[in-house]
Amino acid sequence: MAVIDPISLEVFKNLFASAAEEMGVTLQRASFSPNIRERLDFSCAVFDSQARMVAQAAHIPVHLGSMPASVESALHEFTALQPGDVVILNDPYHGGTHLPDVTMVSPVFVEESIAFFVASRAHHADVGGMSPGSLPLSTELYQEGIIIPPVKLVEAGRRNEAVMRLITTNSRAPEERLGDFEAQLAAQRVGAQRLLALVAAHGAERVLAHADALLDYSRRMTEAVIMAIPDGTYTFEDALEGDGQAEFRIPIHVAITIDGAQMMVDFAGSAPQVAGNVNAVEAIVRSATWYCVRLLAEDDVPVNHGCFQPVTVITPPRSLLNPDFPAAVAVGNTETGQRIVDAVLGALAQALPGRIPAASQGTMNNFTFGGVTGQRAFVYYETIAGGHGAGAAGAGMSGRHSHMTNTRNTPVEALEYALPVRVRAYALRDDSGGAGAHPGGAGIRRVYEFLVPAQITINSERHIYRPYGLDGGEPGKPGLNQIIHADGQVETVSGKYTGTAGAGDTVIIETPGGGGWGEKLQHGNTRAE
């Protein structure tokens, strides 16, 4: 019988996490695309034999909270995995988020039985579809790129070259895809090696016992967080401002019920599914909700399956947050996921006044573009940071990614080296944070000049409904997208736009500021705290 104590539990917590972290380091260093190498748009995690997440690296929240559904989907499809197998998938309706996020799942065998799984998810810059970057203003999933159901990319250690060729051929940058997939496969191997080394050093019984204990520890810590919230029901409603087909109000309504150590989060009253690309599958809704609960913890709660158990998430069928296949979902991950966070935190602010900050920028400002330079195709994707919401403890941070993204901006040098683009400006957007006793953080102004023609697509939010302030603070400044054509004509475009940029055209993206916190009095004085 393995002996488990607080010291050994802390040691194993870090050992499991280090395996996931090393997977991430491998994936980053071996990758080809700036999106993975520079922006770090990937995530890695370790799961037990029951597909329960044991540990994650500090990567992308929306990936990690939804990745368990991908592992479950892989196991449902393949009930008898063998050593050396690697399952690949991206189907949002079978555990994915959106098509560019491609997940790999590998079993880790100990003494002829599966002891663990390792999984990685990377955002690939292009997987086909109707516009470069695979985040089009779509009306059905088929328009968004190649759909990969759970399929074995590697079987018993032998790679299925036909499957690899099928996937990469459907990308506008097949060589880049191949390089990134190779990096992802390397990460899978490293994760398995580290877990096997852990078992060799400590024994399978002791390692598996600590994995179980770690899940129970996180569950108890999360229950303690929930018990600190007063019992009751708290509601809030926020909204998206369009689906890429038209601008209209798309409400997200949430009711949070606290009953002792249990939390129920019900999204009844949210919009029905829409024609455009902002629908979000259930895995994203759960992921965003769990993220908000974790924010409440003052201690470092290990993020694993145990964190999820005290929280029940309910989504109405055929809704924006639980659409029917093949509804378009390209930016349900990025934009709707951010708005779910704003809604859940808005409800929690009623339960815990003074604990919850105002809304951050509430968008990822997705910018994708592609074209041809010489004989070479190019494609690119990035998200752009903005302002954080202020809180009782102080002002919001400026020019930082927030909530469900956690990526970096691509360095100007890396972007200009890899692509026929010049970055003419990259700076904080002055006075974009909401005013208040504590002001919201400033957004960013990023200006791109295209050296060759390119097809561009922007998916952004908070151009109409500004990031809310709290406790008397004012909302942040809305986002602004503009194109300055080579002839000097200035065109202001909506938050969701697709079109062509000519050589010499400049695209300006100004991101929203965060909401302010607390009422700011006249003459520049702030109220007494």
pLDDT in tens, the chain (529 residues): 778 999 999 999 999 999 999 999 999 999 999 889 988 889 999 999 999 999 988 666 666 667 888 999 999 999 899 999 999 999 999 988 999 999 999 999 998 999 999 999 999 999 999 999 999 999 999 999 999 999 999 999 999 999 999 999 999 999 999 999 999 999 999 999 999 999 999 999 999 999 999 999 999 999 999 999 999 999 999 999 999 999 999 999 999 999 999 999 999 999 999 999 999 999 999 999 999 998 999 888 888 999 999 999 999 999 999 999 999 999 999 999 999 999 999 999 999 999 999 999 999 999 999 999 988 899 999 999 999 999 999 999 999 999 988 788 888 998 999 899 999 999 999 999 999 999 999 999 999 999 999 999 999 999 999 999 999 999 999 999 999 999 999 999 999 999 999 999 999 999 999 999 999 866 544 443 3
Cβ-proximal residues to 123 (8 Å cutoff; 6+ apart), any chain: 35, 36, 41, 42, 100, 101, 381
* Nearest of 208, 66, 45 to residue 117 by alpha carbon: 45
Q: Where are the alpha helices (DSSP H) in 151-281?
A: 161-169, 174-202, 204-227
Residue 308 in contact with residue 255, Cβ under 8 Å? Answer: no
Q: Alpha carbon of 358 to those of 342, 344, 391, 408, 440: distances in Å?
A: 9, 12, 6, 22, 8
pLDDT at 59: 61
pLDDT at 523: 52
Element holding 251 (H helix, E strand): strand 250-259
Helix, strand or coil, per DSSP, at residue 205: helix
Indicate if the alpha-carbon torsion angle 43, 46, 52, 55 is positive or negative: negative
Task: Provide the residue type at 231 as one letter.
Answer: D
**Cα(19)–Cα(24) distance, rounded to whole angstroms?**
9
Check residue 334 and report its DSSP letter: I
- Torsion angles phi and psi, residue 242, rounded to 5: 160, 165
* Nearest of 465, 493, 499, 498 to residue 480 by alpha carbon: 493
Strand ranges across the sheet with 366-373: 376-382, 366-373, 454-459, 496-501
Bond into 326 cis (ω within 30): yes
Tokens of 140: 């059905």
Please report, for the chain, how many H helices and E strands are present, in that order: 10, 20
